[in-house]
Copies of this chain bind each other. A is one copy, B any other.
Amino acid sequence: MARTKVKLAFIVNDAARKTTYNKRKKSLLKKAYEISTLCGVQACAVIYGPYEAQPEVWPSPCEVQRVLSNFRAKPEVIQTKQMENQETFMNQRVLKAKDKLKKLRTDNKEKEMTVLFDQCIYAGKLVKNDMSVVDLNYLGWLIDHKLKDLGRRLESWDDCNNVQIQSQDQLQLVPLPPPPSTNEEMTMMNHGHVALPINNTDIIEREFFMNLMMNGDGDDTIPFGEVDPGVLPNLLP
């Protein structure tokens, strides 16, 4: 997270990996210490690296053993219940992630179209070579949207200045259908056109795991261990 953004994937270079390992190990243990201190909770962390014979732990080996003993001492029924809870939790995450993805796609599409729109204004003409019907439709919706906004602004401006301009002098707004927003509609209508990067399914899949885990928006690569984006982590023994 500095100088350059690093892809979240196994670091091939040995020296770089060791350097990163040492830095991040220190930081991870610090974070464990901080949440424990700030929130007054028990926490522990264990890291097995190839560089030390024994795992690095926080806060101390015996304390880790104590925390873990507590966990393992739970009746198996409760542990199973916990795992089920976690699975439910993960499923909720999936739903939320999907919603968020949909919203992101919509937002991105709108941004793309805004750029296109600005280019049209600047060039004075519409370069439509690599635009799909869907995109053209969306662009039309955006222009309609902007015209409506302009109309509103004119109206309030008129109100503020008590100008005599009446509705016949105002912009004629041509109603257009709202833009397609779901992935299914996009896909169905996208035949034979160059797809814009935002529709790339690979990128969407790579986001899956981290959205799941962190509810974040990272564009990271598939994580260590070749997680299949279509399969939930197996939470049962």
Contacts and interface: CB of A to CB of B under 8 A. Distances in A.
A194 interface: no
B34 A41 contact: no
A47 B38 contact: no
Contact of A54 (B35, B44, B82, B214): B82
A36 B10 CA distance: 9
Given A28-B31, A37-B8, A54 B67 contact: no
B27 A31 contact: yes
A45 interface: yes
Given A39-B11, A43-B48, A235 B61 contact: yes
A50 B35 CA distance: 13
A148 interface: no
A70 B45 CA distance: 14
Given A59-B233, A67-B48, A71-B64, A25 B35 contact: yes
A67 B68 CA distance: 10
B41 A20 contact: no
A219 to B, nearest CB: 14
A216 B31 CA distance: 13
B8 A224 contact: no
